[in-house]
Structure 1
Amino acid sequence: MSQGQTSDVREDGVIESVSGPVVTADLDARMNDVVYVGSEGLMGEVIEIEGDVTTIQVYEETSGVSSGEPVETTGQPLTVDLGPGMLDSIYDGVQRPLQVLEEKMNSAFLDRGVDAPGIDLDELWEFTPEVAEGDTVEPGDIVGTVPETRTIDHKVMVPPDYEGGEVVEAESGNFTVDETVVELDNGEEITMHQEWPVRQQRPASEKQTPTEPLVSGQRILDGLFPIAKGGTAAIPGPFGSGKTVTQHQLAKWADADIVVYVGCGERGNEMTEVIEDFPDLEDPTTGNPLMDRTTLIANTSNMPVAARESSVYTGITIAEYFRDMGYNVALMADSTSRWAEAMREISSRLEEMPGEEGYPAYLAARLAEFYERAGYFENVNGTEGSVSVIGAVSPPGGDFSEPVTQNTLRIVKTFWALDADLAERRHFPAINWTESYSLYRDQLDPWFEENVESDWSEQRQWAIDTLDEEAELQEIVQLVGKDALPEDQQLTLEVARYLREAWLQQNAFHDVDTYCSPEKTYRILGAIKTFNDEAFDALDAGVPVEEITDIESLPRLNRIGVQEDYNEFVDELEEDIASELREMY
């Protein structure tokens, strides 16, 4: 049932008991039906049926609701409204538009039971048909376009549950989302408004192997641990290690066509920052506001816990809808741990048998269900689109062995492990390069080699080997000190330091360094590799390591990231490093 539409609601039962967001009722309903509970009509969903007792999770605070109050059922599952108007919108977990509700209530504090459709049913949109009378269309086919924002054209499609047929009428003009824009010979009328159950995956022709990276503009991600368009990634980390900032950076800079950001149970002040910042951010590719291609779903930690569980499904359904139009969509879920905690709370109130650490036994299945909806797809209308899912995980105390992190790692193919020690040392992004991994590297290397440089994978492997060697040497240094190492190993430590400080470290708050193209990522690494090669040549020629690491041009390696015209800067720097070192022997 779509929010804001209660036309088929019928009083069908009464409340028997209330336990937090879980209500039991004597009600004739089906699993996952949307119901309205109590005299205030609080929205809820059927989650268990046992004999004559129906259990409902309510998406709002239930204080004051008592037994004997009426329950009304819609006979339909929880669905979202799909159509023009979703971009540049901020929703709660069940797709109620918060900006609209604020105007309706004339307050930022909303009363219980207040409701509104997910998209404006009265706004006029300029529809341009892409089919003509006599054309045959099938489910999923694009029949026209609407300029939804300055950045994105909304493509109006035949709903997947229609039969399709021959077009008998298709007119251009200004229409509301519920007015017919295309009529078929079998009597089916196509509007710009669709509804879709949030727990059901939208159909696609074929799921393909992704071969193109989702370029993030973050050196450690693009350079060492890339994610594919249509890929899945997890960002686990303890409190304060930078999960949310990393996701904000991805939302701002990743080269996706559409961004869906789900704030699932995170702190209200963090979500407030997103809501305030995003409208002012400029899209680097178009110069228009970033919100022109963004949908925000805000279900903060102080909001009702039950709606948190549905927020990720709302987000992924909206993402799939834009994928069907042929767009590449990036979905950020911050964080799936809070979603799992909502499942745990509901499960305990249902008195289900608990699994590890009290989480329900079906935790792994629910996580897999969610992440499996990501992918690079050939759509039923012949277009290609992708949904990339990046989920933050908040393990208590930074313990990666807890159930949510472990079950997530079994599913996703990219793992960006945040490290509290790095964060304390002010190394950001605080992604631990020894614990993180990407299983997409091999299938993405051809793209980087074709679009950036042919020796991309060799350069990256050199960096990985150097950083691995540094990790081993650091253990020895802890015991005997750096001066006890042979000179070649001391030089390796110095090269690794520049890899960490000049390449892996990145300033999200610097106007230039906040985004680094793959080309610039390659050039910075190439400059460090030039120093490495020239330095070892000098060492072999008998130059002491102290003199090698004391050359005048070397500190400029740390300044490449903040250079707008980096190519000229790097060319000059590489020449200076080579000439200074060669003069020594």
Structure 2
Amino acid sequence: MKSGLIKSINGPVVIGKNMKDFKLREMVVVGDKKLIGEVISIKGDLGTVQVYEETSGLKRDEKIISTGSPLSVKLGPGMISNMFDGIQRPLNKIKAEHGNFMPEGIGLISLDEEKLWDTKINVNIGDRVHEGEIFGEVPETDIITHRLLVPIGVNGIVTKKVEDGKYNIERDLVEVKDDLGKIHNLKMYQMWPVRVPRKSKERLPIDRLLVTGQRVFDVFFPIAKGGTTAIPGGFGTGKTMTQHQIAKYCDADIIVYIGCGERGNEMTEVLEDFPKLIDPNTGKPLMDRTILIANTSNMPVAAREASIYTGVTMAEYFRDQGYHVALMGDSTSRWAEALREISGRLEEMPAEEGYPAYLPSRIAQFYERAGYVNALSGKEGSVTLIGAVSPAGGDFSEPVTENTKRFVNVFLALDKELAYARHYPAINWMDSYSEYIAQLKNYYDLRLDGDLPALRSKFLDLLHQESKLNEIVMLVGEDVLPDDQRLVLEICRIVKVAFLQQNAFNKIDTFVPLEKQFEMLKTIDLLYECGKDAVSHAIPISKIRNDKIYADVINMKYDIENDELSKFVELNNKIRAYYNNLEVKYIQ
């Protein structure tokens, strides 16, 4: 077993000597406390290790021992409904055995090795299996069946198998003999290095909507399954709340939520809320499809970086089983700050604002692991990456936000003024964008009876017109505007309150099906077109703006249940009747 000696200690960075035989990215055990670390550079006889635990108490000349493998995670039954730290240590189990504080040198415990799982083997003796194929099934929760995969690199003939029954994850289930005569024993789990993307058969077009039930996302700035999304915003603008809402209600099969260096109270909210919530898509507890990775800001910075890779590797593993996975990173800025701190301790040449010069490539490597694929198992799956960004002072020109913007296709800019005005979600419709509109057009056309992208473009154009008109209103007042422009201002106010603003505490409005969202937007469009027609007949704007009609349209999100879309017909008939009577009265 290879070993080196500690030469110097600088926070989470340890320099070791006698390390020329170590490999880059190798996982090591540091010192008498047996702290977990990773080799990040080797120069001659000296090696640099970033340690994933508190290094106080380490001494010079203590041993650095190789594990012989890169930083890896154990992928198998027991991940769903569980909570881990950044290197996949189960926090609930550690709390039960050691109390509220994690002891040093606890090692790399991960999945429960004693729990017995109901196991069904899908292959028979004599069958030929290939890498990534599903060879068995374990019902992990009421809604997620864990599909056991043949490890990457294993191809051959099944020579032995166990009968269906209850087994722990260490039990050899299937024996495979490859073409060279080598025997491979397949267990329920497999190890995978976190920094290496998992293989797939082919990448598929990203053309299906990740339905979130949030109108501003599903209609105006849609997120696609297998896509990439950034949610930047200053302190208090609602990044975490927005990610919580997407995690609770999106139609992904599995949620991986990474608290990557956020404050402890925000992760506490996740831990308290998620077990109580019922998934609207399945009717089962939300935790039955959720994996939590909790790294609070007082943990070593190196662990923040590990948590990002641990989470995305877990997501890819379930993607390979044929599931659609949504990963929330809250927030990637904390990960970038960890990179900056480690880089500073390594005395590397800093780039903009002290971040390392390789920051853009690291961000790109993370977001490249999103995608919609045809997996080796023959099933389709996806990983959707949704990363919050925390620019200091809400300055979107800082390096993390700017570089994230280069590599994502959906940019959901949170606005401080909207947040302070209690407009939720505080998505600024002027600065946000989605590049998935064209790819999703067929999806919208097949699911909805009408052209939603055209209607979306029409209202975004109206909102941009309103922004310009408001500049004039600020100078000279609204009364000087012609009636058609005053109508634009009125309709945009309704769009913002009735459609873009959503009440997460209202049982009807917290989650809205896409069909209802479309009906709501069509109703507002009908109101606008009827008003525009009335303006063309020189009807005064004071008559066009009817408080009762406008109130009914604004309150439709509360008054019309999600499964009572027929009531939109009544509301639309009321709007037409009012404006028809108005025209009869004024034109005659």
Query: What is the distance in 1 between the residues matched to 2:77 and 2:468?
Result: 55
In the TM superposition, residue 60 of structure 1 has moved relative to its aligned partner by 1.0
Match of 1:560 in 2: 556
Query: What is the distance in 2 between the residues matched to 1:325 and 1:200?
Result: 18
Q: Which amino acid aligns with 2:579?
A: L
Checking the alignment, whether the CA contact within 8 Å between 2:126 and 2:157 is kept in structure 1 is no
Q: How many residue pairs were aligned?
A: 575
Match of 1:80 in 2: 73
Of 263, 274, 280, the residue aligned with 2:276 is 280
Query: What is the distance in 1 between the residues matched to 2:507 and 2:370?
Result: 32
Q: Which amino acid aligns with 1:185?
A: K
Q: Say which is worse superposed, 293-302 or 570-579, in terms of deviation.
A: 570-579
Of 85, 88, 91, the residue aligned with 1:92 is 85
Query: What is the distance in 2 between the residues matched to 1:27 and 1:74?
Result: 16
Query: What is the distance in 2 between the residues matched to 1:116 and 1:17?
Result: 24
Query: What is the distance in 2 between the residues matched to 1:436 and 1:395?
Result: 16
Name the % identity: 51
Checking the alignment, whether the CA contact within 8 Å between 1:168 and 1:185 is kept in structure 2 is no
Q: Secondary structure at the match of 1:567?
A: coil
Q: Say which is worse superposed, 536-545 or 72-81, in terms of deviation.
A: 536-545
Query: What is the distance in 2 between the residues matched to 1:79 and 1:18?
Result: 24
**Correspondence list, 1:199-210, <5 A:** 199-210=195-206
Matched, 1:165 2:163: no
Query: What is the distance in 2 between the residues matched to 1:578 and 1:479?
Result: 35
Of 421, 442, 446, the residue aligned with 1:446 is 442
Of 3, 6, 11, the residue aligned with 1:15 is 6
CA-to-partner distance for each residue in 1:332-361, whole Å, 9 max, x for gaps? Answer: 101111000000000000011111111111
Checking the alignment, whether the CA contact within 8 Å between 1:434 and 1:468 is kept in structure 2 is yes
In the TM superposition, residue 426 of structure 1 has moved relative to its aligned partner by 1.1
Checking the alignment, whether the CA contact within 8 Å between 1:125 and 1:146 is kept in structure 2 is yes
**Correspondence list, 1:308-457, <5 A:** 308-457=304-453
Match of 2:120 in 1: 128
Query: What is the distance in 1 between the residues matched to 2:547 and 2:230?
Result: 41
Query: What is the distance in 1 between the residues matched to 2:16 and 2:53?
Result: 17
Checking the alignment, whether the CA contact within 8 Å between 2:158 and 2:174 is kept in structure 1 is no
Matched, 1:37 2:33: no
Matched, 1:68 2:61: yes
Matched, 1:114 2:106: yes
Checking the alignment, whether the CA contact within 8 Å between 1:141 and 1:158 is kept in structure 2 is yes
Match of 2:143 in 1: 151
Checking the alignment, whether the CA contact within 8 Å between 1:241 and 1:419 is kept in structure 2 is yes
Match of 2:586 in 1: none
Checking the alignment, whether the CA contact within 8 Å between 1:101 and 1:116 is kept in structure 2 is no
Q: Which amino acid aligns with 2:12?
A: P
* TM-score normalised by structure 2 residue count: 0.96
Query: What is the distance in 1 between the residues matched to 2:497 and 2:159?
Result: 61
In the TM superposition, residue 27 of structure 1 has moved relative to its aligned partner by 3.9
Of 250, 255, 258, the residue aligned with 2:254 is 258
Query: What is the distance in 2 between the residues matched to 1:228 and 1:120?
Result: 34
Structure 2 unaligned regions, length at least 5: 584-588
Match of 2:574 in 1: 576
In the TM superposition, residue 551 of structure 1 has moved relative to its aligned partner by 4.3
Query: RMSD in angstroms over aligned alpha carbons?
Result: 1.3
Q: Call closer, same or farther: CA 1:432–1:514 in 2, change over 3 Å.
A: same
Checking the alignment, whether the CA contact within 8 Å between 1:554 and 1:577 is kept in structure 2 is no
Checking the alignment, whether the CA contact within 8 Å between 2:206 and 2:227 is kept in structure 1 is yes
CA-to-partner distance for each residue in 1:149-198, whole Å, 9 max, x for gaps? Answer: 00100001100032333454352111111111112234221110100000
Checking the alignment, whether the CA contact within 8 Å between 1:171 and 1:182 is kept in structure 2 is no
Matched, 1:462 2:462: no
Query: What is the distance in 2 between the residues matched to 1:568 and 1:547?
Result: 28
Query: What is the distance in 2 between the residues matched to 1:167 and 1:156?
Result: 18
Checking the alignment, whether the CA contact within 8 Å between 1:259 and 1:295 is kept in structure 2 is yes
Structure 1 unaligned regions, length at least 5: 1-9
Query: What is the distance in 2 between the residues matched to 1:455 and 1:39?
Result: 66
